[in-house]
């Protein structure tokens, strides 16, 4: 016999005894099999219903079904609250079959439970079931209408939602604030502005124009429909405002690029003493980032610290982003450390910051840590990591990141695919870059530019120009960077006439105004082709003041074609603009040396010593079996040093004429006798020798170098490719060189 019921706060002895039989973890980890109900008990079932609610809140619908059967067998009733929780879980998990099962169990439910079933069908997008139930309901209330209207509007089915509104009006049922709010929230595109205007008019006629939630929804509707003036008008007429109204209008201004208007609203909030939340600060900081208002951003950051909100991720992340955008990485790093639980956006911001200051290895270190911890990622993280791998020419890590992004569905369609094209191009895998490009359905300007530049820097001028013509037939329009790629392709391949035509057509045909960089490309094209007088005239007469690169391009051409007179003019102007440019001194030293003017060459060397010019350490690296092997000039630290130098001895061409040994960036700090020996031990020669003893004959040797390849090593690579038959690819600081059977893809035009 059932024990007398006690007040809810005092459980019966029987209930307490049964509760003691439930393991403490039952509602968290156990399945229904660990909780058995004795047969024949006719209890109110408080504990059983509690367990059923727990299972539904955890989304364990299978266990909940099994437990329902046990409750039925034991004769324990399921209370309305349990049914509500079960139906809510079915809706959240879009489990229509379980939802229908629960619906069938209800029999003759209350109106409240009918509304719960209706909400479940809408959440599962089973609007046929929802309409059938709605039509069968004998007692519909405003909530019933609102649930179905909200269900349709949330799924973008505005026609059905407004059909129901019309029926309500015909039946004389008043639309309440909830219905209006849900309908207005669904209008998020300028194409539905007219509908929004009609709703606004209806709100006024129904007397709800002073309702805060409704009028806020109207203001936000105008924001989403890009009617900011009307949104502001509605906002200013509000009798009472809330944080949602303020942030909605501020967000509208920020998205429209009107960050100053957003900040004006923030100042107004401060003056009016409006209570601010995390979202207000988040939007305000984004506006500061967009304008790079560092001082104002710092003041807002200080206010956030006073309020104790800097550890909140929704506020801390925009603070980090602000400092990164304003190139204050130390401040960004400190702000990041104060975020209690960084999310994917926080990690993305700090990784971007490390990439921005050139600490690419650190960004990869963070990425590896996030992967090990299986933390949430976003497409921006992968884009930054791919860009870091491009800068480091880390093919293995970049390929892994690409595969991981595809697996997670996080390849950004805005920048990620273009980053992949650039990455594969910079790692010497132009075949993969082409595949990545051709896989894009409708390449945008960034993607077209990436593949054109990729071919340009690989010396494939005709392919680059062919791609540019394809781009002209697409919907994408070339930009400034696109033309840098096109002009570079022409310059590196001797297509002077074509380069001139493209430069002249930029503004006239494409609406892209040439910059100093485009004119420098043209100077470079003239200079490489030996048209030094034309290059000099262009430098003097172009519509910009020549920069250091203008004169350096001319000086490079003078060295190639041994024009000392113009070379001295170019060097003088270059070193006046940039007196610490090591390359300028090196080119002049070699130019004087090629004319036998060793006194002048010695003076150049003396000036370099007096200025204590610091050069970047030359380094070449090669990846073999997933491991990166790095070499510097004269390096003898590699485990296979003896094998490497033995191979070099076999291959090195003898250099006996001291005057033919030119000064390079690799051996600028050494004297002439030392240079003769070290020339044989330049970093790329060591890398080539290691590649020959480590890589099979049918696999290309791919080497990367941080400085320009010198002529001697360029000739050495051609010689090696001829005598060994091995394909060799070297990427120096300016372009790719593909060597095969004694020839280079640049045709010695570099």
Asked, for residue 604, whether it belongs to a domain, the answer is yes
- 534-575: per-residue pLDDT in tens? 999 999 999 999 999 999 999 999 998 999 999 999 999 999
Q: Distance between CA 220 and CA 198 in Å, rounded?
A: 15
Confidence of residue 320 (pLDDT cuts 50, 70, 90): very high
742 close to 718: Cβ distance less than 8 angstroms? yes
The whole-number average pLDDT for the span 452-479 is: 93
Same-domain check for residues 690 and 738: yes
- 699-746: per-residue pLDDT in tens? 889 999 988 877 788 889 998 999 898 999 998 888 889 999 988 887
Structure tokens at 370: 């996030």
Angle at CA of residue 33, ends 29 and 37, nearest 5°: 115
Asked, for residue 606, whether it belongs to a domain, the answer is yes
Same-domain check for residues 735 and 625: yes
Give the 3-state secondary structure of residue 620. Answer: strand
pLDDT of 206 strictly over 60: yes
366 close to 351: Cβ distance less than 8 angstroms? yes
Give the 3-state secondary structure of residue 742. Answer: coil
Q: Distance between CA 553 and CA 573 in Å, rounded?
A: 12
666 vs 5, 376, 620, 678, CA distance in Å?
92, 44, 11, 9
706 vs 398, 520, 593, CA distance in Å?
19, 22, 25
Residue 668, pLDDT score: 44
Taking Cα atoms as reference points, which of 93, 136, 97, 133 lies closest to residue 116? 133
409 vs 150, 412, 415, CA distance in Å?
30, 9, 14
Same-domain check for residues 596 and 532: yes
Taking Cα atoms as reference points, which of 711, 708, 744 lies closest to residue 728? 744
What is the residue range of 730's domain?
A: 619-654+671-744
Same-domain check for residues 611 and 630: no
354 close to 324: Cβ distance less than 8 angstroms? no
Confidence of residue 516 (pLDDT cuts 50, 70, 90): very high
pLDDT of 36 strictly over 70: no
Beta carbons within 10 angstroms of residue 555's beta carbon: 28
The whole-number average pLDDT for the span 310-339 is: 94
Query: Chain-wide mean pLDDT for the chain?
Result: 86
Compare 42 and 7 and report the one with higher pLDDT: 42
- 115-148: per-residue pLDDT in tens? 999 999 999 999 999 999 988 888 888 889 989 9
- 45-92: per-residue pLDDT in tens? 788 899 999 998 988 889 999 998 888 888 888 999 999 999 999 999
What's the predicted TM-score (pTM) here?
Answer: 0.72
Give the 3-state secondary structure of residue 624. Answer: strand
Same-domain check for residues 625 and 700: yes
Residue 691, pLDDT score: 93
Of all residues in the chain, the percent with pLDDT exceeding 70 is 89
Same-domain check for residues 597 and 552: yes
Same-domain check for residues 682 and 739: yes
Confidence of residue 658 (pLDDT cuts 50, 70, 90): very low
Structure tokens at 722: 């001829």
pLDDT of 278 strictly over 50: yes
Same-domain check for residues 586 and 470: no
The whole-number average pLDDT for the span 616-631 is: 86
Last residue of a domain, one of 567, 589, 615: 615
Alpha helices per DSSP H over 137-176 = 142-154, 158-170
Asked, for residue 706, whether it belongs to a domain, the answer is yes
Residue 414, pLDDT score: 54
What is the domain-level CATH number for residue 545?
A: 1.25.40.10
pLDDT of 10 strictly over 60: no
Last residue of a domain, one of 514, 537, 564: 514
Asked, for residue 150, whether it belongs to a domain, the answer is no
The whole-number average pLDDT for the span 154-181 is: 86
Q: Name the domain count of the chain.
A: 3
Angle at CA of residue 123, ends 119 and 128, nearest 5°: 80
Asked, for residue 124, whether it belongs to a domain, the answer is no
Lowest mean pLDDT, pick from 279-293, 456-470, 562-576, 660-674: 660-674
Residue 355 phi, psi (nearest 5): -65, -40
- 424-456: per-residue pLDDT in tens? 999 989 999 999 999 898 999 999 999 999 999
Confidence of residue 465 (pLDDT cuts 50, 70, 90): very high
The whole-number average pLDDT for the span 235-260 is: 90
- Taking the alpha carbons of 319, 325, 326, 329 in that order, is the dihedral positive or negative? positive
248 close to 216: Cβ distance less than 8 angstroms? yes
Residues 6 or more apart whose CB falls under 8 angstroms from that of 186 comprise 153, 154, 156, 158, 161
Same-domain check for residues 521 and 611: yes
Asked, for residue 315, whether it belongs to a domain, the answer is no
The whole-number average pLDDT for the span 85-103 is: 91
Same-domain check for residues 678 and 572: no
Q: How many CA atoms lie within 13 A of 525 on its CB side?
A: 27
Same-domain check for residues 467 and 522: no
Same-domain check for residues 524 and 610: yes
Confidence of residue 615 (pLDDT cuts 50, 70, 90): low
Residue 750, pLDDT score: 58
Residue 202, pLDDT score: 86
Asked, for residue 472, whether it belongs to a domain, the answer is yes
DSSP state of 33: G
Last residue of a domain, one of 451, 486, 514: 514
Give the 3-state secondary structure of residue 630. Answer: strand
Asked, for residue 645, whether it belongs to a domain, the answer is yes
pLDDT of 5 strictly over 50: no
The whole-number average pLDDT for the span 606-627 is: 83
Give the 3-state secondary structure of residue 438. Answer: helix
Residue 513, pLDDT score: 95
- 629-638: per-residue pLDDT in tens? 999 888 889 9
Q: Distance between CA 386 and CA 364 in Å, rounded?
A: 9
The residues that bridge with 740 in the sheet, in sequence order, are 743
Residue 614, pLDDT score: 67
Taking Cα atoms as reference points, which of 271, 266, 338, 333 lies closest to residue 297? 266
Compare 410 and 42 and report the one with higher pLDDT: 410
Give the DSSP H or E segment for 50.
helix 46-57
């Amino acid at each position: 016999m059932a024990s007398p019921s006690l007040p809810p706060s005092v459980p019966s002895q029987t209930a307490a005894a049964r509760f003691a039989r439930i393991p403490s973890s039952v509602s968290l980890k156990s399945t229904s099999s660990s909780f058995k109900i004795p047969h024949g008990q006719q209890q109110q079932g408080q504990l059983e219903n509690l367990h059923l609610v727990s299972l539904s809140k955890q989304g364990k619908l299978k266990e909940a079904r099994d437990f329902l059967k046990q409750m039925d067998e034991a004769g324990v009733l399921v209370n309305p609250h349990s049914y509500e929780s079960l139906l809510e879980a079915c809706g959240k998990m879009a489990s229509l079959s379980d939802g229908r099962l629960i619906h069938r169990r209800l029999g003759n439910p209350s109106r409240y439970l009918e509304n719960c079933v209706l909400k479940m069908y809408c959440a599962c997008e089973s609007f046929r079931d929802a309409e059938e139930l709605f039509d069968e309901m004998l007692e519909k209330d405003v909530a019933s209408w609102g649930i179905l209207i909200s269900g349709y509007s949330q799924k973008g089915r505005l026609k059905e939602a407004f059909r129901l509104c019309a029926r309500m009006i015909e039946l004389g049922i008043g639309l309440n604030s909830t219905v209006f709010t849900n309908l207005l929230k669904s209008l998020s595109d300028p194409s539905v502005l007219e509908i929004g205007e009609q709703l606004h008019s209806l709100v006024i006629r129904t007397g709800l124009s002073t309702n805060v939630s409704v009028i806020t929804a109207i203001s936000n509707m105008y924001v989403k429909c890009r009617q900011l003036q009307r949104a502001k008008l509605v906002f200013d007429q509000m009798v009472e405002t809330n944080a949602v109204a303020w942030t909605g209008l501020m967000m509208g201004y920020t998205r429209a690029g009107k960050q100053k208007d957003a900040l004006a609203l923030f100042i107004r909030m401060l003056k009016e003493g409006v209570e601010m939340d995390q979202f207000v600060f988040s939007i305000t900081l984004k506006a500061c980032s967009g304008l790079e208002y560092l001082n104002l951003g710092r003041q807002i950051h200080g206010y956030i610290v006073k309020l104790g909100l800097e550890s909140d991720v929704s506020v801390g992340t925009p603070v980090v982003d602000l400092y990164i955008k304003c190139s204050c990485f130390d401040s960004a790093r400190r702000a990041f450390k104060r975020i209690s639980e960084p999310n994917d956006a926080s990690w993305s911001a700090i990784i971007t910051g490390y990439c921005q200051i050139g600490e690419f290895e650190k960004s990869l270190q963070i990425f590896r840590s996030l992967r090990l911890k299986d933390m949430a990622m976003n497409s921006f993280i992968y884009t930054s990591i791919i860009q870091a791998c491009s800068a480091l020419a880390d093919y293995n890590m970049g390929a892994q990141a690409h595969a991981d992004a595809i697996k997670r569905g996080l390849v950004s369609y805005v920048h990620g695919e273009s980053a992949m094209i650039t990455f594969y191009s910079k790692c010497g895998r132009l075949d993969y870059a082409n595949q990545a490009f051709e896989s894009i359905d409708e390449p945008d300007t960034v993607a077209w530019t990436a593949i054109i530049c990729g071919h340009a820097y690989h010396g494939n001028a005709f392919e680059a120009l062919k791609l540019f013509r394809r781009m002209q037939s697409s919907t994408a329009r070339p930009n400034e960077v696109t033309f840098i790629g096109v002009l570079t392709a022409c310059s590196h391949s001797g297509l002077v006439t074509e380069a001139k035509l493209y430069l002249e057509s930029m503004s006239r045909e494409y609406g892209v105004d040439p910059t100093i960089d485009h004119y420098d490309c043209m100077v470079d094209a003239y200079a490489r082709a030996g048209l030094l007088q034309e290059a000099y005239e262009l430098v003097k007469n172009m519509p910009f003041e020549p920069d250091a690169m203008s004169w350096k391009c001319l000086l490079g051409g003078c060295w190639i074609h041994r024009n000392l007179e113009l070379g001295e003019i170019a060097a003088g102007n270059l070193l006046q603009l940039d007196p610490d440019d090591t390359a300028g001194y090196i080119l002049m030293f070699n130019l004087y040396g090629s004319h036998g003017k060793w006194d002048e060459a010695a003076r150049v060397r003396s000036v370099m010593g007096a200025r204590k010019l610091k050069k970047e350490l030359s380094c070449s690296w090669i990846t073999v079996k997933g491991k990166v092997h790095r070499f510097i000039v004269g390096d003898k630290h590699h485990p296979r040093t003896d094998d490497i130098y033995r191979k070099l001895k076999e291959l090195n061409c003898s250099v006996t004429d001291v005057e033919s040994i030119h000064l390079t960036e690799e051996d600028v700090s050494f004297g002439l006798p030392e240079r003769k020996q070290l020339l044989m031990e330049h970093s790329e020669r060591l890398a080539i020798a290691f590649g020959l003893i480590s890589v099979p004959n049918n696999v290309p040797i791919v080497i990367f170098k941080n400085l320009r390849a010198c002529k001697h090593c360029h000739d050495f690579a051609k010689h090696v490719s001829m005598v060994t038959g091995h394909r060799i690819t070297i990427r120096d600081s300016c372009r790719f060189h593909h060597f095969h059977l004694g020839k280079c893809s640049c045709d010695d035009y570099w």
